[in-house]
Structure 1
Amino acid sequence: MSQVDQLHDITSELYELSQQPPKATEREEFVEKLTGLLEQRERLIEGLEGPYTDEEREKGQEVIRMNKVVNERVSIHMKQLKTEIAHMKKRKTSNQKYTNPYQSVSSYDGMFLDKKK
């Protein structure tokens, strides 16, 4: 199997993976699998050498088309994950404020400081 065929297989696997939004319980697995496939694809791209046959050129064009879709889908998934993380952080701080409402109040409030000696 040539490197172009391997690249095509990995890109098609990425394409299939990116089409399905990750479930809440499977996010970590999704991100790990995604990064693993992206690293494999990067290594294959760095090792590509050429001249290419007509069949390899066609597969290369298909890889380029799939790559555009993969990039768009992955960026959408990552934006969703970032917003969910931001919501979780906000929820955490609001829960902390609810359990300890006087945590952020300055300790000098209501105190009299005598400046004379």
Structure 2
Amino acid sequence: MSLVKQLYEVANQFYQYLLIQPQKEQRNAYIEQINQFLDRREELISKLPKVLDDEEKILGGKIIQLNHSIDELLKKRYDEIEADLKQIRQQKMVQKKYAQTVVSVSFDGMFFDKRK
């Protein structure tokens, strides 16, 4: 199999993988798999010959289209992760503020009313 066909297969598998919505619990494994796809794709791109025949050029056009779709999906997944991280930061800040208000209760203004 030529390098261009291998690259097309990897790009297609990568695209199909990105269509899967990851669960929050499995996000680390999902990101690891994305990194493996990116490394494999980079390795194949670096080995591509400078001159391609007509069939490989057509396949190269399909690869470019797939790469645009992959870029969009990667951006979407990045935005989802960024939104989750922002939400976690906000939750931590709210919890910290709440904990500070509970701890900083002042007893200086208290008095006891004597009743007979």
Structure 1 match to 2:113: none
Q: Any unmatched runs of 5+ in structure 1?
A: 106-117
Q: TM-score, normalised by structure 1?
A: 0.80
Q: What is aligned with 2:68?
A: 68
| Percent of pairs with identical residues | 24
The aligned runs of 1:1-117 (5 Å cut-off) are: 1-101=1-101
CA distance in 1, matches of 2:102, 2:42: 51
**Aligned partners of 1:21 and 1:72: how far apart in 2?**
14
Q: Which residue is equivalent to 1:112?
A: none
Taking structure 2 as the reference length, the TM-score comes to 0.80
Q: Unaligned stretches of 5+ in structure 2?
A: 105-116
Between Structure 1 and Structure 2, how many residues are aligned? 104
Give the match's secondary structure for 2:101. coil
Instruction: Report which of the two structures shows the higher radius of gyration computed on alpha carbons.
Output: 2
Q: CA-atom RMSD, angstroms?
A: 1.7
Q: Displacement, 1:102?
A: 6.7
